Each structure stands twice: as C-alpha cells, then as structure tokens.
Amino acid sequence: MTDTIQPKRVLRLIARLNVGGPARHVAWLMEEMDPAAYAQTLAAGRVQDGEDDLGPELAADGLRWVDLPRLGRAISPLADLASLLAVLGLLTKTRPHILATHASKAGLLGRTAALLYRPYARLRGWPRLKVVHTFHGHTFHSYFGPAKARVFLGLERFLARRATWRIVTISPLQHHEIVEVFQVGRPGQAVVVPLGIDLAPFADPAPGRARFRAELGAGEDELLIGAVGRIAPVKNFALFFAAAAALRGRAPELFARCRFLLIGGGSEAELAELQGEMDRLGLGGRASLLGVRSDREAFFPGLDALMVTSNNEGTPVSILEGGACGLPVAATEVGGVPDLLGGEREDWGQGAKLRQRGVTAPVGDAAALARGLERLLAEPETAARLGRALRGYVEDNHAKQRLAADITRLYDQARD
C-alpha cells in the first residue's frame, strides 16, 4: 500500500473582492490550481460602501471564501487590529505551508501576522510558513501624499526583508519599479509572473458586439470609445472626458461620430463629480456613465477603441480583456502598460507614441491621448492591425492556465 501524498496548504488573503484585476486574479488561481497539489483557503474582506462588489458573481461561479468582515481597503486602527487577530486565528487553524497575500492592505496585515505566527508555529512543530506577496500595483505614488507614501514604502521594505519569501510582480516594468526604483526586497527575491485572464468569453466576439450596440442604439457608422474600471482618483477618468473634448477641438467631424462610454461604478460623490465634469466640458449626448456591467463578453467587443487614463497601474486587466477582443488601445504610459503594448515604433507627435500593439501618451496629457485616438479612428487599417497584434499577444501570453502553471512552479520551489 503506497502512502498518499497530501497537498500543501495555501492560505490566500485579499482585502476585498471588488470589481477589478486583483480579485479576478485570485479567483482564477483558486479555480485553476490543482487541488491535489495545493489545498487553498481564500480569506477576503468586504468592499466599501459605493464600491463595486464582485463577490456575488464569484459566488455564483462556485468560489467560496472565509469572510473577514473588518478587513477592507480603508485604514482603520481598530478594524485593522481585529483583522490582524482574525488572520492570526486563520493561520493557527489552517497551519498553511504558504501564505499568499495580494495587494497592499492584505500584504501589510498578512505579513505582520506571519511574523507573529512563526515563532509559535515553530514551537508546535507546524510547517514552516513561507509568504508570497503579489504587487498588483503599488501605493508609492498617486494614492497618498508624499509623507504617507514614504511611510508605506518603509513598511513594504521592512516586510519584504523580514516577512516575505518571494515577491511577485506582474510585469517587467513593475518589477523594475519595485526592485530598482523603490528598492523593495532582497536581490533575487522578486519574480515576474504576468497576469492571466479567462479567454473563453472572447472566443467569438461577434454576438456580444451586436447585442451591446443594439442595446445602445449605436449605428454602423458610430464609433464607441470606452474606458473600463472602478471609479477612483488613481484611474483619472476625468482625463477620459478631457481627451474627448480635446478630440472635438482637433477633429470635430470625427468627434461627431463618437460616443464616450465609462463602464464602472463608484460612490455617489465620485459619479456626481464625473457627471459634472462631462457637463462642464459640454459633452452632452456624446458621453455616458454606464455603471457596473458583468457582460464583458458584450461590452468589450461592442467598443471600437479602448482608453486607459490611469496615473498608476500594474497590468490593466481592461487592456488584456479588450485586447482579447482585438480592440485598439490608447493608454497612459504607466506601470505595465508599455509591456503590454510593446516597443515604440513611431512618434505620432504631441506626446503620442505608436507602439507594436497600441498607442501611449504621457500621464495626464489629454491632448496626446486625443492625438493618438484621432489617428486610430481615422486610420481603421492601422487600428485593426494593432488590435490583431494585441489579441495575438494576449492569447499567447496571458491565459489564466498559464498564470496558474507559473504560480504552481513558484510554489513548488517552496516545498520543504
């Protein structure tokens, strides 16, 4: 009779399952990793009021998790202390071989809990805990003021050296930022594991495109320009509408064929502020807030171009999902965006750069984004070529199965 090899235990921690890349990343790892090799427990906090909740959709798909009701994005000393104790309790209960933390808040609390847990676990003879922390983005600029950003950077440096086995970055440029620019971690500690997505919803984009455009009453000659994501200051969606206004000034006839659609939710105050910006710019019936939508198999194919306006990013899932549909992309040159869109091919002027698989512009530069968008819309053959190139790149490099395989290989290195 042969001994059965028991799976290694993984406790996976995320602050909240809001609509966005980190929550989907976690869900795909829970779904795709072999349970015979790794028995995973997911623990997650709750979304804030007014924040889009991905939890119901994930639960409908069969994902289960431990609810940590006091854990969330906001900083709250009492709630954070309660969450720290809850994570300690989970570590003691599950006795994991690996603690996988995702994004800054879960990384801070999870790794602090690991420091407290390890001496006790050693005394009890439990498995030696190894911590893998994933940077989905970072908070070292564009989130807080300089003083608070320095505090968080100091904490990250301490936790990277004292509490973390491996750091996962999700693009080569993010790896450069984290390791070389902000000097987080020890030499050789950080690895690059690109994001993966579920490609299946985009295998046949035609039906979804027809449905979405029919819903909006979009004509054959009408161009739908989209921005997709949670409404938050770092996403800088005001720039999306500023670029629309700049396009109106540059190419009024082209602008008259366009509709600018923001897909994503936020608080009432954030939505009102964006609506006020649209009104101030006089965009009238040319711009709309569509709110949260779960039919990505329809709204991404239904667009004619995608814009990303963020001040700070890791790897935007919107580019991956839009790219899987063959959308041309104009984006600010931040984080992992240049890695997705490829090397520079041509200077389009006014800050806009043609790349292998899309167009980039400097952060905050509405004129440059408008210039790039104008060329994409006025040159459909160029737009189609870029969309095809991006789709091929996403299909070859960013499937969720590849993500799970890469993480499995990383965890295999942690086996005692």
Domain tally for the chain?
Answer: 2
Q: What is the mean pLDDT of residues 170-196?
A: 93
Q: Please indicate, yes or no, if residue 97 is contained in any of the structural domains.
A: yes
Does 215 share its domain with 338?
A: yes
Residue 240 CA: distances (Å) to CA of 226, 279, 351, 365, 369: 9, 14, 16, 10, 9
pLDDT at 198: 95
Task: Say whether pLDDT at 416 is over 80.
Answer: no
First-to-final CA distance of the chain: 24
| Structural domain boundaries, residue 213 | 200-397
Does 270 share its domain with 388?
A: yes
Q: Please indicate, yes or no, if residue 1 is contained in any of the structural domains.
A: no
367, two tokens:
């004129």
Does 258 share its domain with 383?
A: yes
Helical packing angle, 146-163 and 103-124, nearest 10°: 30
**pLDDT class of 125 with cuts at 50, 70, 90:** very high
Does 407 share its domain with 359?
A: no
Does 173 share its domain with 237?
A: no
pLDDT at 74: 76
Nearest by Cα to 28 from 400, 317, 324: 400
To the nearest whole number, what is the mean pLDDT of the chain? 93
Share of residues in the chain with pLDDT > 70 (%): 97
Distance CA 402, CA 196 (A): 7
Residue 72 CA: distances (Å) to CA of 42, 47, 77, 106: 15, 6, 12, 9
**pLDDT class of 314 with cuts at 50, 70, 90:** confident
Does 377 share its domain with 406?
A: no
pLDDT digits (tens, 9 = 90+) for 253-299: 999 999 999 999 888 889 999 999 999 999 988 999 999 898 999 99
**pLDDT class of 19 with cuts at 50, 70, 90:** confident
Does 146 share its domain with 219?
A: no
Find tokens 């431990």 and name the residue: 66
pLDDT at 139: 60
Task: List, in order, residues 6 or more apart from 162 with CB less than 8 Å away.
Answer: 115
Report the CATH number at residue 350.
3.40.50.2000
Task: Say whether pLDDT at 357 is over 50.
Answer: yes
3-state secondary structure of 185: coil
Q: Please indicate, yes or no, if residue 237 is contained in any of the structural domains.
A: yes
Q: Please indicate, yes or no, if residue 2 is contained in any of the structural domains.
A: no
Q: Please indicate, yes or no, if residue 3 is contained in any of the structural domains.
A: no
pLDDT digits (tens, 9 = 90+) for 33-91: 999 999 999 999 998 877 778 899 899 989 999 999 999 877 788 999 999 999 999 99
Q: What is the mean pLDDT of residues 307-325?
A: 94
pLDDT at 335: 85
Distance CA 106, CA 84 (A): 10
Amino acid making up residue 42 = L
Does 150 share its domain with 168?
A: yes
pLDDT at 265: 87
Nearest by Cα to 308 from 373, 220, 389: 373
Does 239 share its domain with 162?
A: no
Share of residues in the chain with pLDDT > 90 (%): 82
Does 192 share its domain with 279?
A: no
pLDDT at 179: 93
- Percent composition of the chain: helix, strand, coil (DSSP 3-state, to 5): 50, 20, 35
Residue 173 CA: distances (Å) to CA of 88, 155, 314, 315, 368: 34, 22, 9, 10, 22
pLDDT digits (tens, 9 = 90+) for 385-402: 999 999 999 999 999 999
HSE value, Cβ hemisphere, 13 Å, CA-based, for 367: 3
Task: Say whether pLDDT at 142 is over 70.
Answer: no
- DSSP alpha helix (H) spans, 45-175: 55-60, 77-94, 103-124, 146-163, 172-175
Does 403 share its domain with 390?
A: no
- Its pTM stands at 0.89
**pLDDT class of 1 with cuts at 50, 70, 90:** very low
- DSSP conformation class of 358: S
Distance CA 112, CA 99 (A): 12
